[in-house]
Structure 1
């Protein structure tokens, strides 16, 4: 079977959604409300054409000068684009002019028709952007004429060997259902306002998205994908689907570098698994997680810390103060620390960043610090759903994942292993908590589960010293209320 020729949209993420790009010499509708980025997206397609291919812009809505100026501000190279300005003149308001597009059998030699034909014959474009069909609808005598003219125009352009893109504004007053049957593909762009929820503390969110609704002759990634328009143009962040990614890896154990912890976990964590490190604020979750990265550095493996909560300077200082040479690890490039501002980066953007680190920089250990901070980037959507996709992808790629999850319970309260019910995602759960032993306030460590191996189901005193983490003897002997309350050591255990 002959492979169909594809052309890039000029947006790598959208090419991924479309399984490689648009099919050549087909027609596509870019539809959406005002301000969603329809024209900008179409211009990216024109700019992405090879230099030996000419392109044509047929403008019916905005003056060409304004469109060119806006495109240049975003860094788009449109030097090979031929511009055909079909916007109405100021005299049209007084004269009641209408536009007539030709039929394939009988070409009416009116000024607009002649202008289009002249441009097509002169430029011989490989790709044409019509902006917009909505304006053509308004200027047509009736719906029948509009459908006839649109079909004739698209067919004429396709017959000339051009790939056709057309924008259309969606509205109740001028629905474009009739055009959707004519074209080979439909891309819907939108601007959604998210509802405020208790999880995002009353803050709403807003964001653009793109959905491939129809794409004849090819598969495509279904669902809504985030679309971002910035200073450098359009970016699309495909929604992450774990089943579409994976690679072979050896399911070996990963040491923490702390002998007692490795003994409790029967050798350590396992590669390609997710471990939640849970506990209240300040109990030592990040310090414990960084020990696994210190050991990864000794093995020559790259790791990355995505910090949603803590400043990098503070993280480096705390790590160095407990004997973890983070400055040296950063200088060697074996460790990266990335501060993430969740209110300016969505979950899909973050997933894209993680993929870049894993697929292009061979990162093998990832720490997300913390689940609660990451939850802000979800912006009112389902936190567990996004985390499920991200962790599923990382597991399939053989990456060891550490999730720091802050719980609210400090002491003497009901025990909840995680804050938002993410423990089912994890192969292992290590919990830290504050406990009172006689008159001392101490930290304790325990393991709730490890799916891939056995483990010791006792609590141990957990100390952070200037030489690193020290894990003491088990606290379970002669103590009471370890999980729900405050552990107390008996005289017998004190004498041991």
Structure 2
């Protein structure tokens, strides 16, 4: 989606919003920013004026519902500074400006109040002569107009006045007086709608949608955003088809010959691998084996951990010969522990994309999809989110490893979400009982990009990492957890043979 070079844009100053608007707001037009109280309208409006100030454009903030002191205090709380190039015009309630004689006139007081309000707005504009204007909020004007017809006519009058002055205007509407009145929607050049959602657990989630933008392409749909120190940050919805790169598709080694053989030579560059299994089978260990291999090749990796505390993870992996802390300190590994309750899907996709785009990470691990799903408990689009993210990563030539903890320990396993059809390679881990011990087995059940070994192998986890035994050809029912011995007795993988299995 590209910007029209023939249309001059006023950047909003809101990270991510200009990307959705394909450059910003068309100069010389009137736009509507609507949303319930607390959704971030004022913050976005202030960022819009501050951005104009940075490029030498004078701004005017007309406030009918908030005092100048409250406005400046709110801006300071977000780390925003309203400088001298931005005029804040606090419009006092019109009835306080009317004398007793005028209040006793035969005219309705609302007629006088509306007329006085618009007169003061135009006088402030003529005095400041700004390039950008914010009017906060339309609810006050709607109440003074009292009828939809009169309200529409006044908005049209304001629109034509500002259009003649070639001013970019942002009208704010808090949707408190009449949520069904769409009068302004048909008048303005564009409409941005803000929403705040309250999940059953965790903080509120915010999202926005561009509902209208005349004569201009824009990124449709909902986009998550947050309000942080510094203002609003928007996370544009990821569209994988917009991100394509050219690279040679070669097989990459895990660093363990037996695992590479199981995978038919390794994993292909720009592919996704799903590692399935019950808790404790070693899903993370498999993924980190590829992280270590990536860093040994001189490339960078990024790991996003939802489930495990980092200190415990570092200690556990160090015991297996993989020093994640050293990798992180050298700058080769970005590892981040995420709180599912505090994160929206859009923000997570943004963080992953940032590591791939800016840090050139060639291996990405998401551990686990269970935690990722928990970040959107009331979302019904997990598969779509995952599809776009995996397609994007594949097209960047990045290898992605996903882990999913299945329900249960042995027997019939159930997955909380089925993403097997999205992944290019699926590795299945299982517990099974043999010779009075609980053992682990691995098999590759899918590989889109070529041949893979169709056997089931036992594997172990020791102080040298992963070790693999011979195919379990003498057993049937390993994947069910309680196999039946059908062959000639032979050795199973044990501690003495573990060191030899990787050679």
Tell me, yes or no, whether TM beats 0.5: yes
Matched residue, 1:10:
13
Spell out the pairing of 1:101-140 with structure 2 (5 A cutoff): 112=117, 115-140=120-145
CA displacement, residues 232-287 of structure 1 (integer Å, 9 cap, x when unaligned): 32111112221122212221112111110101111101111111111111111111
CA distance in 1, matches of 2:228, 2:491: 67
CA distance in structure 1 between the aligned counterparts of 2:17 and 2:261, rounded to whole angstroms: 48
Which of 172, 178, 196 aligns to 1:167? It is 172
CA contact (8 A) 1:434 1:442 kept: yes
Q: In the superposition, relative to structure 1, how do residues 260 and 484 fare at CA in structure 2: closer, same or farther (>3 Å)? A: same
| Residue in 2 that maps onto 1:321 | 319
- Superposition TM-score, scaled by structure 1 size: 0.91
- 1:479 is matched with 475
In 2, are the aligned partners of 1:304 and 1:337 still within 8 Å (CA)?
yes
Where in structure 2 are the equivalents of 1:151-300 lying within 5 Å?
151-170=156-175, 173=178, 175-194=180-199, 203=201, 206-300=204-298
Distance 1:27 1:56 in 2: 14
Matches within 5 A, 1:141-152: 142-152=147-157
Q: Distance in 2 between matches of 1:20 and 1:33?
A: 26
Task: Return 5+ residue gaps in structure 2 as ranges.
Answer: 493-503
Q: Which residue of 2 aligns with 1:45?
A: 48
2-side partners of 1:258 and 1:31: how far apart? 57
Distance 1:178 1:89, change over 3 A: closer
1:55 matches 2:59: yes
> How far apart are residue 468 of structure 1 and its match?
1.8
Match of 2:393 in 1: 394
Could you say if the C-alpha distance between residues 205 and 388 of structure 1 is closer, same or farther in structure 2, counting changes exceeding 3 Å? farther
**Alpha-carbon distance in structure 1 between the residues aligned to 2:149 and 2:432:** 78
Change (3 A) 1:168 1:100: farther
The C-alpha deviation readout for 1:52-110, integer Å capped at 9, x for no partner, is 210111122222221121112111222121122223067369848446699xxxxxxx7
Coordinate RMSD, CA, aligned? 2.3
Cα pair distance change 1:442/1:495, threshold 3 Å: closer
- Measure the CA separation in 2 of the matches of 1:114 and 1:483: 79
Partners of 1:174 and 1:467 in 2: CA distance: 64
User: What's the secondary structure of 1:328's corresponding residue?
Assistant: helix
Q: Which residue of 1 aligns with 2:499?
A: none
Residues 364-373 or 185-194, more deviating: 185-194
Confirm or deny: 8 A CA contact 1:289 1:367 kept in the other structure. Answer: yes
Instruction: Determine the C-alpha separation between the residues in 1 that align with 2:334 and 2:53.
Output: 37
2:334 aligned counterpart, secondary structure: strand
Which secondary structure state, in structure 1, belongs to the residue aligned with residue 195 of structure 2? strand
**Correspondent of 1:494 among 484, 490, 496:** 490
Q: For 1:141 and 1:415, how far apart are their aligned partners in 2?
A: 63
Q: Give the TM-score, by structure 2 length.
A: 0.90
Shift of 1:156: 1.1
Note if contact 1:252-1:270 (Cα within 8 Å) is conserved in structure 2.
yes
Tell me, in whole angstroms, the C-alpha distance in 1 between the residues paired with 2:373 and 2:123.
56
Offset at 1:158?
A: 2.0
Displacement after TM superposition at 1:16 (Å): 1.0
Secondary structure at the aligned position of 1:392 is classed as: helix
2:377 alignment partner in structure 1: 379
